[in-house]
Amino acid sequence: MKVVIIDDEVAMHLIMKRMLGKINNVEIIGSFNDTIPAFSFLQNNKVDVVFIDISMPWENGIDFARRLRERDLQIKLIFITSHKEYALPAFDVYAYDYIVKPLSQERLAKTLERIFTEERAAEKEKVEVTSSATSPPFIEPLTKRELEILRLICMGMSNKDIAVNYKLSEGTVKNHVVNIFGKLQVKNRVQATVVAKGLGMMS
């Protein structure tokens, strides 16, 4: 698991590094005192989890998270803060967890174990989808546009990016995605990608 720490307190960086160092399969690949360099880093690197404070110079953690979501960066955000009152706004930007300081080793470990458990379940689901991809699951064939959009989904593009690429509204793209999922009999983009590759649809 690749993680990034964003906090303006040097002491908090030291605490986080010490605690995360006790948890297996966690790698700290970035550590930032404010959100400006952190934002650029997250756009250009594969990151699984971001630990972020609320009160920081230039931009608070909630506004920073909002900017990430506007770019459709689906990184897990875990707020670690002294402020209890921002919990609801934090979950409005799809925070994975909200931890009030002081942070304990046990609390941190439980949160990360929950992520590991979910990832193992998702990996198992991918294996199951792959094993069932030997026979085409189509209810009906994909249209030319649906096939084009599926290929972009497999490249990791968001609905917004696809809409810009084809000069369509996001609503139109979303309708195509729903149709694609229905025809492939999948529930999400990961499953769609596995099935598409399994059936040789990306060539």
Domain residue spans in the chain? 2-126, 134-198
Q: Phi and psi at residue 154, in whole multiples of 5°?
A: -65, -25
- The top-level CATH class assigned to 2-126 is alpha beta
Structure confidence at residue 128 (pLDDT): 57
DSSP-derived 3-state class of residue 114:
helix
Task: Quickly list H helices, 54-169.
Answer: 61-70, 87-92, 105-131, 144-154, 159-166
pLDDT (average), residues 51-77: 88
Note whether 185 and 132 are within 8 A (CB): no
pLDDT digits (tens, 9 = 90+) for 147-156: 999 999 988 8
pTM, full prediction: 0.62
Confidence of residue 185 (pLDDT cuts 50, 70, 90): confident
Q: Single out the residue of 72, 34, 66 nearest to residue 53, CA to CA.
A: 34
- The top-level CATH class assigned to 134-198 is mainly alpha
Which of 29-43, 61-75, 82-96, 112-126 bottoms out in mean pLDDT, i.e. has the lowest? 112-126
